Chain A
Amino acid sequence: MPEGTYLDAVHAALRDALREDERVFLLGEDIGAFGGAFGATRGLLEEFGAERVLDTPIAEEGFVGAAIGAAWVGERPVVELQFADFVSCPFDAIVTVAAKTHWRSGLRLPLVIRAPSGGGIRGGPFHASSPEGWFVGTAGLKVVCPGTVEDAYGLLRAAVEDDDPVLVFEHKRLYRSLRAELPGGDHRTPIGVARVVQAGTDATVVTYGGGVPIALEATAELAAGVEVLDLRTVWPLDEEAILESVGRTSRLLVLQEASRSGGVAGHVLSLVARRGFELLDAPPALHAPPDTPVPFAPELEDAYLPSAASLRVALGELLDY
């Protein structure tokens, strides 16, 4: 298999889904001739035409609503939000209409919403957020955050084939920084299942998305054996995988790029406090940015975002406890 970037994997997943299933079509801002703000849909208009790669006006409530309507009558729409921050605009369509419909009517809504999240590109408060936590705990939604090239392909393919609304938060810093062998066209990453990407016995780092490469980099040269658990799906949580890993290591650090009080980490820590208390040899640690929006200036953003260096410090404290 050829090598490619995380972005190549997203592009390939969209292309293969469009090729294999006529019900799949894409809609979003500037995804046609322009190929998307990050280039994920480049060339797809030429291959599949304007009726399957639809440029939309700046109307996220409108086109996410329209995707729900298309899913209602049997299509499999894949929406691109230009930046994950903009998911606040169609929030109502997602949590009111998409999330609750199956539970209260039995109607399936196979719908995918892709959104580039995360910082590291000096995007500031409106182009660098990690809003996945807003949807964690929302019944009826599935939320996935690929942290590897393989999962960028496999989770998106699985999301498109899923019969529930799935939010896919891709990490924009990984688009061009991660490179690996691209998976084959039949590869799927199961939704709802975490993966141990690095085995260890001294501590567990639970993370996802942009946290995965940071955790691997931070622990590569540590003497201690740190297990890295990539959640991959952040809702519903793979609770057993978390508890099993903590059971092996007895020390837990949760790493996320979303600000510390919002999001996935709180759910993981709550789970371990409730069901894993007796597994622990140290208080569980949280490594996450402060409770502010994402700042712009490089000095501020670098201080705000978790890094391999900052994670090593946090891990050192946990291992020394």
Chain B
Amino acid sequence: MPTFPRPPRCGWRSGSSLTTEAALDVPSVPGATRLELLRLILLQRLFEERTLTLYRQGRIPGSVYNGRGQEAVAAAAGLALGPDDVVAPLNRELACHFARGVTVAHAFRNFLGKATGPTFGRDGNMHFGVPERGVFPLVSMLGNLCPVVVGAALAFKRRGEARVALTFLGEGAFSVGDVHEGLGLAGVWQVPAVFVIQSNGWSYSTPVERQMVNTNIAERIEGGWSIPARRVDGTDALAVYAAVRAAVTRARAGEGPQAVEALSLRMHGHAAHDDARYVDRSLREDYERTRDPVRRLQERLRLDGVPEAKLEAVRRAAEEEVAAGLAEAEAAPAPDPATLEDGVYAHPVRRDDAGSAVREPLGSGRCRG
């Protein structure tokens, strides 16, 4: 009878501080990866600045959310995955979609509610997935997707495939039961799942101290679930990349679930309507000045000896990609209300004249786009 290995025992540790760069093997992150991280972070930053403007102009319905200040986590975790891995990004991780090869135009089509977007106009803003890119569609009930990635990882383990499933979790989601159940299952089953915790300090307007007693989530994951967890500076793209890359490598090698807690600040309100007045102004100004992930990575690349012209070229290319993607998305058709009921089921049920069940041929229930 096959058995699963027992999880390693971990002692409780307290007073963890940020893991140092040297321990994270940052020096080995290749130059090309560094530039790609910059490109992805800039894409998310510029894309979200654009969507905020479009929203205020009334050109995007509903609302928009953004991950200002957290883009490094999204980009680094997305880039740390292999091509056959799967991921469930959340609200503040557009760069992860881009890292998976989702185009800017495709993302814009979702924000604009277009028929050919990833949700066919049925869901808005960053509420989308792209199954053909291994990206599961976000749901708003944060925490729901934690056990979902554990199940995907369980399937990979069952089939002996060297693939990894990753999801992000805000620190706010650590008050949700699904997360506790998902982490429990990941530990018991020892599956190749990686959890990236976006500790941005606030769950909407509620500070972390009012959400939990022990705010060191890495410590809780390691102490409570015996899942190895590292804490990194989430505004340092290279540190996050090195930490998640190492976690993905360990998970892929059969060492069971892994976690990385990335500390940052949500440098914007929860959504477009929220001015984040509950965050101390001096803290935000200090973050803008010293911990803006875009600026930090640019400075790092300058220290690496990347010429200014190259950095400027990366920014210009990102600007052009966002502008071209928006133009392409705006030209896409709006959804036809007549198609509203298409695709509720992969296999719609109906009867033929003789009263027998008729099955739609495989694939016909699939939505266009």
Which chain A residues have a beta carbon within 8 Å of chain B's beta carbons? Answer: 25, 45, 49-51, 56-57, 59, 61-75, 77, 92-93, 96-97, 100-108, 110, 139-140, 142, 162-164, 190-193, 233, 236, 238, 240-241
> Which residues on the B side are within 8 Å of A77 (C-beta)?
151
A106-B158 in contact given A68-B148, A72-B151 (Cβ < 8 Å): no
Q: Distance in Å from the Cβ of B188 to the closest Cβ of chain A?
A: 7
A105 touches which of B119, B141, B345, B362 (Cβ 8 Å): B119
Cα separation A145 to B182 with both chains bound (whole Å): 29
- Contact indicator A62/B150 (Cβ below 8 Å): yes
Size bracket, chain B contacts: 35 or more
Contact with A along B1-27 (1 / 0, CB 8 A): 111100000000000000000000000
Beta-carbon contact of B181 and A62 below 8 Å: yes
Query: Is B351 within 8 A of A57, CB to CB?
Result: no
Q: Are B150 and A65 in contact, with the CB atoms below 8 A?
A: yes
Given known pairs A65-B146, A191-B357, the reply for A50 and B1 (CB within 8 Å) is: yes
Report the separation of the CA atoms of residues A108 and B362 in the bound assembly, to the nearest whole angstrom: 11
Query: Contact: B147 with A50, CB < 8 Å?
Result: no
Interface flag for B154 (CB, 8 Å): yes
- CB-nearest residue of chain A to B347: A163
* Shortest Cβ gap from A113 to chain B (Å): 13
For B123-143 the 0/1 string (1 means CB < 8 A from A) is: 100011111000011010100
Residues of A within 8 Å of B343, CB to CB, are 102-103, 106
Residues 332-360 of chain B, each 1 if its beta carbon lies under 8 Å from chain A, else 0: 00000000000111110111000111000
Contact B355 A68 (CB under 8 A): no
B147 touches A163 (CB 8 A): no
Shortest 8 CB-CB distances between A and B: which pairs? A69-B151, A192-B349, A65-B147, A62-B181, A190-B357, A66-B151, A163-B346, A59-B181
Residues of A near B151 (CB, < 8 A) are 65-72, 77
In Å, the complex CA distance between A103 and B348 comes to 12
Which B residues form the contact surface with A (CB < 8 A)? 1-4, 86, 118-120, 122-123, 127-131, 136-137, 139, 141, 144-156, 158, 165, 177-178, 181-182, 184-185, 188, 343-347, 349-351, 355-357, 362, 365-367, 369
State A66–B146 Cα separation when bound (angstroms): 8
Instruction: Decide if B155 touches A74 in the complex (CB within 8 Å).
Output: yes
**25 chain-A/chain-B pairs, Cβ below 8 angstroms:** A45-B1, A50-B1, A57-B181, A57-B188, A59-B184, A61-B181, A70-B151, A70-B155, A73-B152, A73-B156, A75-B155, A93-B144, A97-B139, A104-B120, A104-B122, A104-B127, A104-B137, A105-B128, A105-B129, A106-B131, A107-B136, A107-B137, A163-B347, A164-B347, A190-B349
Name the A residues within 8 Å of B182 (CB-CB). 62, 65-66
Nearest CB of chain B from residue A40's CB, rounded to whole Å: 20
Check A97 against B349 for contact (C-beta < 8 Å). Answer: no
B356 touching A96 by the CB < 8 A rule?
no
